[in-house]
Amino acid sequence: MGSAKKADSLKILKDCVIFVDVRADDGEEAGSLFVEMLESLGAKILTRVGQTCTHVIFKNGLMSTTSRYRLLREPKPSVVGIAWVVDCVEQRRRVEEAPYLIDLTEVNVAGTNKRRRSMLPKLMSEAFTEPTPTEIDPDEAGGEADVSMDGSQSSITLDDDLTPLERARRRRSMIFGPTA
């Protein structure tokens, strides 16, 4: 009886037809993790945005995705962020899309509007970067140097402090185990 309940709970997105366009800040494809998560919840995954699509998972996606989306007739699919997928997995239910909706007219498209720091003169480039802990002189830091080994602070972080992408990666390692 318990296994039937578990099988049903993993099909919580069985009525969803989803296109995933998730990219890292540098434009590299990063959606495969979310595709696996969505498929494990019973969603059907499309390879392109189309009229049968019910959802678009979007983060730093391609210009072609936004162009195809604009050409769709009403009703258009819900465009949501990656946090929606993570929350569906964590809560083991289809969560309301409204808090996760994205307006595709005001999104960052992968590869556009990027400042190339490598093209700036070295002195200017250094002004835009934060010093690493090894670059900070402990005497100048007022005794606030790296204390990671002194045991005064816990190394355990709460999932609430993590980005949705990092939460998804950690969730994947717990669900699917280590990857080879």
CATH of the domain at 105: 3.40.50.10190
| Rounded-to-integer distance, Cα 97 and Cα 108, Å | 20
Domain extent for 69: 2-113
Residue with tokens 């080879």: 180
Residues in the chain: 180
Radius of gyration, CA atoms only, the chain: 21
Res 13: pLDDT: 95
Which of 11, 15, 5, 24 minimizes the C-alpha distance to 62? 24
| Rounded-to-integer distance, Cα 37 and Cα 178, Å | 15
Residue 70 domain flag: yes
Residue 145 domain flag: no
Res 10: pLDDT: 77
Which of 104, 62, 101 minimizes the C-alpha distance to 82? 101
Higher confidence at residue 172 or residue 110? 172
Beta bridge partners of 46: 19
Residue 57 domain flag: yes
Q: What is the pTM of this model?
A: 0.60
Residue 93 domain flag: yes
| Rounded-to-integer distance, Cα 83 and Cα 22, Å | 12
Residue 81 domain flag: yes
What's the structural domain count of the chain? 1
Residue 86 domain flag: yes
pLDDT in tens, 44-95: 999 999 999 999 999 999 999 999 999 999 999 999 999 999 999 999 999 9
| Average per-residue pLDDT for the chain | 76
Residue 155 domain flag: no
Residue 28 domain flag: yes
